[in-house]
Structure 1
């Protein structure tokens, strides 16, 4: 007699979390799970409690209601669990819900739960889903371990070993292999892998991955065509909209990028990061009503989200100013102070934006007072602030009449980001809004050309075989420009080329690590970083 293989799957060793705001439903669920052998069971009533539990215990199975009442929703539990790395590839996350609206389904699908189940449901259906997912994920543990220590080569080899055996979850393992190749910066290998899969048919995740390889390697027109083709075949594949918008920005087509995100937010309005991005692009496009709507959505969606940010409030306030409603901007900033009472960077951002709003209202004394408050916070932070706040500081100085200080800050921002078109667009926005559009254009051009010349002179020294001089040159440049990705990458590469031919020194190796750490911090997706890291690993002595 044959046995059903699903009956051999046990929950005895699985750690399970049940999240639902109704006690009786949690009790029913726990009784079901115990009947299938589950021993390690936790249950909580709120999303906040769920995140707290996940922080101290790694769960194998999470059954989470979508509507948890006041506080985090089931979507936001999934969102934050992935954001904080509490939910892994092998974790089973099932959304349990009595709702079946398109908005709910699309919102939750943005963060890819493993399955949904509609209330009420028969016991047998949940059992079938859980056991199917256990079988589907049970062979991912070793791959996860390799990825946890960033041993991507081993992770790919483990994927290949499993693919050769054609397991039940073959598609999931193949998809995972593609993601690992992209993480490792093996773009050509990833492109070949995706192309091979696409020869078999229209596989959406493979097409998306192929588009990403084009985007990451600067093949923007090819990427655009791929993402547009994905959407034409299935307009519910939401990541394709995000990547298409990024590609269009790279192609300097900001109007179409905005249109793409507007369509996406119509289909799936509950994705907070997309709303933020739409607000940013609309603001740069001077479509202030759309920016206002997007930022309002981001503020609302962010109330219980891990992606909640003071920038959502300050950006909304600036959109109100551009819409000739600065008083409403001050109201939003007052809400921001209540929402972020203890964060220094938030206080700095809010004070700088208040200075801008007060100036627009003609309240010069209040504007100067807000700027003074920001300067005191700056002193406490020892000047270590993110680049977006540097631009806000520059804006505040300029609107308060100190053009020299403001332009000095902007010059440094441009020098650090001379190859970052999106950041340069933000700089242009500051100049436009402070009445310095023409002079600002000259400043951007001067600073960009200065860094290009500086970099090219160092590269020429290296090309002429003058490596010692090139090393000294780029060391000085990197000391002057610690936040410039290209300068630090070239400083690392030339130093490693020298060590490859002349031997490794501990001091030089430490300098290389410093440069590479800076590059990773500035842009973790920098296309040359995997190559630089491979060079570094070849030089590091084995224990």
Structure 2
């Protein structure tokens, strides 16, 4: 038995349980390890790896508060802190399918479930060491993101009948697909499948067929892969994308939901789930998936304030779209709780003026609760801050559309940076709201246009009713409010004083839509003129 497996190796144990650290260190010493370091958290481990290149890392999946083992692996790879020869082993007592499959998908060098014996540990390490030693040049090419070089090295290994031929074939096909060299990839895949219907070959051939729009073949291959392994989440992903491409959204939804249940910690999977759920108008699942995206990323290298903002935006959007008052209240409570929770995490919110984002969200909640004037007032208080806070421009636009200020929303839309719209969820939220607004704006426009026509014809009574109907659809629309005021003033001028009190009062209330609000220049000029006319009428009524 070889007791020098880890001799001269720099080892890092990442585990938050001191008792396990000491016990594990004893096992490693018996395997020749004398240079062993510890980290109780993912953050500390990341800092250590920035200064020391470790040969072997044993990382517990659960690390308490902060990064987990999976997120640490993502960070190390993204920052190129895990050398090509290094061995990364996830260690956990967790054996639930979602946890295990999500970890396996990230492809650590191995995955150990506690408890395990010293012999099992030794044989696993030795196996990986042999593989990394014999394929050192290939691992270096993959580390350096050199697909052409990786393909060449795979070809050499296959030609020499290396014991790692199947691994090299898979790596070669993956890199050929990256380079869109589909004919070469398919030749290797078909040859491999003729010899053995292995899962990796079925998956990659299904992916290739999907890329070439051979959808029937892709579906058949996905089904075969799933029948051979019912936990094959990636096969469900491709199956979902294929069903979606053929227009079968129900089947696509069933596939992606299964994939997310098997392995929920994949960002592309959650994005696809949101996309399909939106097409089927499954609002609760959209909210759940957007929250999952935020949770997946908030302690990882993929952490981005946009995931948090999109989660909160999705919940507000769900509240806007539901007709159930009880469900709406639950969504509003979820938004409030999320905002409170996030304010305690300063590290997450320092990138933006979170107070401004919160104010815009609060205004949207006020609008949903029927407090339209208060919503617009809240917006007016922060409007001058928007030009320097591009991250929250979408929220101002959503709010303005929600309260019916379509013209101002359109002006702000021109200021949204193209980079911001690359986020698929935000892009979808914009698209969906625009579809909703287009229908609403069409109805609003028709009523407003009819009011203008009636006004020009001198039918002020009809004009007032039509402008009032327009404001029912867009309660804080400045242009329509001014139209209503103008028509009301004309009607007041044509009526006897004893008949004017109610109309006068309604006209006075309509001024609240524009009083003390930021207005475009043409509206500001018109507002002042109408206010002078109204004040004159009021003075006349008091005499």
Give the distance between the partners of 1:16 and 1:373, measured in 2 at CA: 56
TM-score by length of 2: 0.68
Whether 1:206 and 2:201 are equivalent positions in the alignment is yes
**RMSD of Structure 2 on Structure 1 (CA):** 3.8
Change (3 A) 1:192 1:407: farther
1:37-436 equivalences under 5 Å are: 37-87=32-82, 90-271=85-266, 274-302=269-297, 304-308=299-303, 309-310=307-308, 311-323=310-322, 324-325=328-329, 326-328=331-333, 329-339=335-345, 340-344=348-352, 353-368=361-376, 371=379, 378-380=386-388, 392=395, 394-407=397-410, 426-434=429-437, 436=439
What's the TM-score once normalised by structure 1's chain length?
0.68
CA distance in 2, matches of 1:185, 1:259: 29
User: After superposition, what is the alpha-carbon deviation per residue over 1:105-127, rounded to whole angstroms, capped at 9, x for unaligned?
Assistant: 22322322332333333322211
Q: Distance in 2 between the 1:380 and 1:272 partners?
A: 29
Report the counterpart of residue 469 of structure 2 in structure 1: none
Do the aligned residues in 2 keep the contact of 1:314 with 1:333 (CA within 8 Å)? no
Q: Which moved more, 1:250-259 or 1:340-349?
A: 340-349
Deviation, structure 1 residue 305? 4.2
Contact 2:104 2:111 in 1 (8 A): no
Q: Distance in 2 between matches of 1:126 and 1:25?
A: 15
Q: Per-residue displacement from partner, 1:426-468 (whole Å, max 9, x unpaired)?
A: 554112443637969xxxxxxxxxxxxxxxxxxxxxxxxxxxx
3-state SS of 1:21 partner: coil
Following superposition, the deviation at residue 131 of structure 1 comes to 0.7
Q: Could you say if the C-alpha distance between residues 346 and 200 of structure 1 is closer, same or farther in structure 2, counting changes exceeding 3 Å?
A: farther
Structure 2: any 5+ residue segments left out of the alignment?
Answer: 323-327, 444-543
Q: Say whether the 8 Å CA contact 2:257–2:273 is kept in structure 1.
A: yes
Distance (Å, rounded) in 2 between the aligned partners of 1:67 and 1:417 = 33
Task: Sort the Cα spacing of 1:285 and 1:347 in 2 relative to 1 into closer, same or farther, 3 A.
Answer: farther
- Looking at structure 1, the residues matched to 3 and 246 of structure 2 have their Cα atoms a distance apart, in angstroms, of 54
Contact map agreement 1:344 1:377 (CA 8 A) in 2: no
Change (3 A) 1:79 1:415: closer
- Count of matched residue positions in the alignment of Structure 1 and Structure 2: 430
List per-residue Cα deviations over 1:10-43 (Å, max 9, x = no partner): 5345332211122232233234334433354321
